[in-house]
Amino acid sequence: MNANDGQSRGRLPNKVAVITGGGSGIGRASALAFARQGARIVLVDRDADALSSAADAVRAAGSEVLTLAGDVGDEATVTMHAEAALARFGRIDILLAAAGWSTGTSVLDTTLDQWDAVLRTNLTGTFLWSRAVLRAMRESGGGSIILVGSQLAIAGGRANAAYLSTKGAIGSLARSMALDHAADSIRVNVLVPGAIDTPLLQTAFRRRADPDAARAASVARHPLGRLGLPEEVAQAAVFLASDESSFTTGSCLMVDGGWLAA
């Protein structure tokens, strides 16, 4: 398929979508889902090899893609990357801030370096990229910003203090931006996944004394009786990115297998 064949079709025709954490997990799955719906993709990740692999998959899905390797928590890098995206495509219509990190430690066991590393990726990176695209979206007449929260930030969870803190803050940041920029036709919403079978979750299981038992306990916590798939979260992201959610802003969309209902 030619890279432009799908651009005039689908639910995101000719939209330009920036996806942080786009090399793996929810970010990569969303990039592919967006591409299949006609969007052009900007992939951001600090893992250059993962970026390359994801970009190949996006091209195979029929979309044009720009890859940007670097730290989402570094202001100068984000500014440079946002400028590169605008130079390539002329606009930014969608941001999915999916880059994430965790240490799997309680407050007593978390060093300041660990705390700073989690906040830098999860919260500062989300803030910096949101600020960068807000300016571009306001100039072009609107857009959709999708942040990634966590069911644990609502329900609570053990031994993940820094991660849960950032995910709780992301919900508040989204509501603030949604109100501040509603008049600019910029919508801001939060995806709230349950336990999704991603490399980040697999790393979390490996930290436990019995990874298989940890995985089984997580599965059992979901009324649907399984972990979620990145592709399932990606479909929710497509909805929030598209005009189908045109009256939705400042909201949390649960994709949690029933975790929060239990």
Active-site residue 163, yes or no?
yes
Whether the CA torsion 150, 197, 188, 119 is positive or negative: it is positive
Residue 188 amino acid letter? V
pLDDT(119) > 60: yes
pLDDT tens figures, 195-227: 999 988 888 889 888 999 999 999 999 999 999
pTM: 0.94
By C-alpha distance, which of 50, 57, 72, 209 is closest to 130? Answer: 72
pLDDT(52) > 80: yes
Range with the poorest average pLDDT among 134-143, 145-154, 200-209: 200-209
**Which of the following CATH numbers is that of domain 16-196+230-248: 3.20.20.60, 1.10.260.40, 3.40.50.720, 3.50.50.60?**
3.40.50.720
Give CA–CA dist 158/46, Å, rounded.
Answer: 28
pLDDT at position 9, please? 77
What residue segments make up the domains of the chain, in order of their start? 16-196+230-248
pLDDT at position 201, please? 86
**212: exposed, middle or buried (C-beta count within 10 Å: 0-12, 13-18, 19+)?**
exposed
**160: exposed, middle or buried (C-beta count within 10 Å: 0-12, 13-18, 19+)?**
buried
pLDDT(23) > 70: yes
Q: In what order do the strands lie in the sheet with 186-193?
A: 65-69, 40-45, 16-20, 94-97, 143-148, 186-193, 252-255
pLDDT at position 259, please? 96
Higher per-residue confidence, 45 vs 203: 45
pLDDT tens figures, 58-101: 999 999 999 999 999 999 999 999 999 999 999 999 999 999 99
Q: What is the mean predicted confidence (pLDDT) over 4-28?
A: 87
Beta bridge partners of 20: 44, 97
The DSSP-derived string for 15-56 is -EEEEETTTSHHHHHHHHHHHHTT-EEEEEES-HHHHHHHHH
Strands (E), the chain: 16-20, 40-45, 65-69, 94-97, 143-148, 186-193, 252-255
pLDDT at position 6, please? 44
Task: Quote the percentage of the chain above a pLDDT of 90.
Answer: 92
Catalytic residue among 101, 163, 205, 259: 163
